[in-house]
Structure 1
Amino acid sequence: MTSFSSIQSLVLDLPPSCIEFCPVSRDYFVVGTYFLEKKEQDAGVENAAGDEEEENEDADKKPQTRTGSLILFKVEGDEVKQISTRPTPYAILDIHFSPHDPSLLAVAASTGAIQLFRFSASTISLEPLSTYQFFSSEILVLSLAWHATSPNILGVTTSSGGVYTVDISIPEAQAKDTAKEILVHELEAWTLSFSHTGKEVYSGGDDATLRYSTLPDMTSPSASQEEEGDFFPMQWQDRRAHNAGVTAILPLAHEDNILITGSYDDNIRILSCPQLGRKQVLAEENLEGGVWRLKLLTSSPSDGKYTVLASCMHAGTRIVAITKDQGGQWGIEVLARFEEHKSMNYGSDVQPGCQNGGEQTIISTSFYDKLLCLWRFDLP
């Protein structure tokens, strides 16, 4: 295992919570920030809901104010250049470009809303589009995911524990109360992921539970409320695999019922999760920090080899090899670590175009020290 140093690092104005490269212009990436305005600036993304409960116990019961920004950067050789900053009246907890329209960016807001932006290659800017107030302003949208096959459907998770699908084809003014609840966690729902077919969804929460549900067909524009009402989902939950909150879920598209998960308990795991029957941990590895996000770097199903970028909160960033041998045994090996971050590493991403191996340009961030780093790693 090799440790790496940054080629460039810079300090941002606000704490970074999430990051993603732009699929249509590979040199550009976007960072979302999260700022909690209170007397003691000690609240990160992972304990936002807990801090809110403490504040509610105060006699004045003043609501917390969260703000943020979307920052557009460009990678030029070994240098990161800040192109623009767009302040937002909410804190940002997650961002993702659409796989169906790679210039379309969805933003998860701390005010119960989803806002859409368009990356313009001609003006090199993020242009605001619609804002959908799906939930009350006291609800934090903690994560979001685009549906695998339906371009107008997103999955979202909330601080109230709900896992929903939402439709961005409806008018903005009609968004309230249209979110469809799929799963419910007892505490904050931190993450969700659709299967590659879009027919299933997995979610993870602060209740240390992994949950699963089948979904109705969302690809047909003629699907009616009555048809959805006749749908009875198959669901299950697993409380045994994780020792703390489930914070990342990465289904492997070419492996039936195989998930890679991350948890507050510092472990990355490979799980076998058939619809029926016992869920099993096939392999696990302690990454020395809470595994907040997972990103698939390379995939070679025929060889049983996968490479994953892991954002590991207080431990920094890891590059991890996932393997399955000819006997069907799974293994996990840490290939590289980046540990210049001195606080919570919530967001990391890799520059597009390196899926076949070779030199990977990686941007990683950390929350309290507001640090952004560029570093590189050679994959075989």
Structure 2
Amino acid sequence: MAEGEGTLIRSLRSQILNLPPSCVEFCPAFPSYFLVGTYSLQPESTGASDIADMSADANSDTEGDGRPARAKQPQSRNGSIIAFRLADGNLTHVQTMPQPSALLDLRFNPHEGSRNICAVVSSTATLALFRLSPDKEQPLTHIHTMDITAMSRGQIEPEAGEEILFLSFGWHPSRADMMAITTSTGHVYLVHLPMLNGDWELSSIPVTTHTLETWCVALSPSLAVAGQPDESRETGGVACKVYSGGDDSMLRSRTFTWNEGVVTDALPSLASRGHDAGVTAILPLLTQESGHELIVTGSYDEHIRLFSVPPFGKPKQLAESRLGGGVWRLKLIDLDTIPSQDYVWRARILASCMHAGARIVELLETVGGAHQFAVLGRFEEHKSMNYGSDFHPGRGDRLTAVSTSFYDKLLCLWEFEMG
């Protein structure tokens, strides 16, 4: 698909932030509020200055002229969480909470009763929880923070001079107290949060591992649809299927049960090399009657792809499209599974495409069984890496979105008529 297709979208509002934005999300409990996480490398540090530069910097063994590279030193990064309110088309800054580490991912808990709880992961391998309460003078409050060493009960502890960054995470689709976290060392860990204010447990043995940075993870809802988590809960276990993508260009998946911090009944991890560069985004979409799950991926190679994943076996690619930039994040706008004269099912997705800006993408299965991507709209006012985009939930056919860009610290508000 040509890079320039789709309607060009213009911004309604824009402003410059104090630090480079790395992630953004609207609060599902209070949709008028959204949070922005920032990531800043301190001036005295050397090495990667951008999220996407980390792999090139951390894994280079030689200088540009072929000489052995200098030993890497831990870098000093900080960040912040910025709260905004969106009302009547206007953006209002509500609060800024400085953070001692740079933030790489930020997501609200999707489960009823917990949807005002936000988690963030950082450049110092910390997980922190926050609560959004708009009725308070300072609506965002810190609940608790733990690092990888504390959560693993001391079983994972970085050596002197070693860096472990938490790069991304995903909430479990049917358990509000579980998530999976990825690291710069290529690992995917499970985390159990039985209480918000501590006593969190991270599996000391990774459930899957990549040879380079693990950029993205998703816990599949397919087992929840089948009812398996409820059944396994009777024996104290939680059924999981985890998808992960790494800088090694691999898409991995694994099915297992997690019981009291121990991975049991685990099937072997399956790997698929269906990408031409690092896998940076994974979006589970739906499970077919056959038991095959459809997932969408994004990659540094500028492509968005649809895969069919059987219950046992490797993924099969069904469709792909070039979006013109590295596809860093994917967010499902809506999914229509009621067949029409035009399609069997249709999904519409918001994609953060790094140097190409944001894209609104339609994906559907035709009545003839073909799978097609189409770019409906594109927002291209960002002059640097678009790592974070999200949309106001529940606004019908008019999509109200915010998107950000890294080096120019730009936050933009825009709208698109979905039709």
Q: TM-score, normalised by structure 2?
A: 0.83
Identical counterparts, % of pairs: 43
Give, in whole Å, the separation in 2 of the partners of 1:19 and 1:43. Answer: 19
What residue number does 1:128 align with?
A: 142
Tell me whether 1:189 sits opposite 2:214 in the alignment.
yes
Judged with a 3 Å threshold, the aligned counterparts in structure 2 of structure 1 residues 134 and 175 are, in CA distance, closer, same or farther, namely farther
How many residues were matched structurally?
Answer: 369
SS at 1:38 equivalent: coil
How far does residue 177 in structure 1 lie from its aligned partner after superposition? 6.3
C-alpha distance in 1 between matches for 2:57 and 2:200: 28
Shift of residue 299 of structure 1? 0.8
Q: Does the 8 Å CA contact 1:207/1:245 hold for their aligned counterparts?
A: yes
Aligned in 2, Cα 1:233/1:172: closer, same or farther, shift over 3 Å?
Answer: farther
Which residue of structure 1 lines up, in the alignment, with residue 28 of structure 2? 23
Partners of 2:413 and 2:207 in 1: how far apart? 38
1:257 aligns with 2:293: yes
Counterpart secondary structure, 2:131 = strand
Give the deviation of 1:58 after TM superposition.
Answer: 4.1
Structure 1 segment 96-115 matched on structure 2, within 5 A: 96-100=107-111, 101-115=114-128
RMSD: 2.2
CA distance 1:128–1:266, change in 2 (3 Å): same
Q: Is the 8 A contact 1:167 1:179 kept in 2?
A: no
Q: Structure 1: any 5+ residue segments left out of the alignment?
A: none
2:52 aligned counterpart, secondary structure? helix
Q: What is the CA deviation profile of residues 137-180 of structure 1, one whole-angstrom value per residue up to 9, with x for unaligned ones?
A: 62110001111122211100000000110112269776586444
Aligned counterpart, 1:374: 413
Name the CA shift for 1:285/1:229 in 2 (closer, same or farther; >3 Å).
closer
Structure 2 counterpart of 1:118, which letter? R
2:240 aligned partner: 199
Equivalence for 1:362: 401
Identify if the C-alpha distance between structure 1 residues 347 and 19 changes in structure 2 by more than 3 Å, giving closer, same or farther: same
After superposition, residues 241-320 of structure 1 pair within 5 angstroms as 241-255=274-288, 256-303=292-339, 304-320=345-361
**Equivalent-residue separation in structure 1 for 2:269 and 2:70 (angstroms):** 39
Query: Where does 1:72-91 land on structure 2 (aligned, <5 Å)?
Result: 72-91=83-102
Q: Unaligned 5+ residue runs, structure 2?
A: 1-5, 150-156, 225-238, 340-344
For residues 42 and 368 of structure 1, what CA distance do their matches in structure 2 show?
13
Q: Is the 8 A contact 1:283 1:332 kept in 2?
A: yes
Letter in 1 for 2:402: I
Q: Does 2:106 match 1:95?
A: yes
Alpha carbons 2:251, 2:279 under 8 Å: kept:
yes
Q: What are the Cα deviations for residues 288-316 of structure 1, in whole angstroms up to 9, with x where unaligned?
A: 00000000001101231110000000000
Residue 178 of structure 2 corresponds to 153
In the alignment, the residues of structure 1 paired with residue 119 and residue 39 of structure 2 have an alpha-carbon distance, to the nearest angstrom, of 16
Partners of 2:196 and 2:31 in 1: how far apart?
Answer: 31
Contact 2:359 2:378 in 1 (8 A): yes
Counterpart position of 2:384: 343
Instruction: Give the deviation of 1:62 after TM superposition.
Output: 4.5
> Is 1:119 paired with 2:125?
no
What one-letter code is carried by the residue in structure 2 that aligns with 1:331?
Q
Deviation at residue 208 of structure 1 after TM alignment: 0.2
Shift of 1:253: 2.6
Relative to structure 1, the CA distance from residue 172 to residue 65 in structure 2 (aligned partners, 3 Å threshold; closer, same or farther) is farther
Distance change >3 Å, CA 224–CA 367, structure 1 → 2: closer
Q: Which moved more, 1:343-352 or 1:190-199?
A: 190-199
Instruction: Return the alpha-carbon distance in structure 2 between the equivalents of residues 22 and 173 of structure 1.
Output: 23
The residue that corresponds to 1:44 in the other structure is 50
Matches of 1:351 and 1:371, distance apart in 2: 18
Whole-Å separation in 2 of the counterparts to 1:341 and 1:153: 35
SS at match of 1:51: helix
Residues 170 and 350 from structure 1, CA distance in 2 versus in 1: closer, same or farther, beyond 3 angstroms? closer
d(CA) in 2 for partners of 1:53, 1:180: 23
The CA distance in 1 between the partners of 2:115 and 2:243, in whole Å, is 23
Cα 1:157–1:62 change in 2 (3 A) is closer
Query: Displacement, 1:271?
Result: 0.9
Give the Cα separation in 1 of the matches to 2:142 and 2:166: 18
The whole-number CA distance in structure 2 between the counterparts of 1:151 and 1:4 is: 36
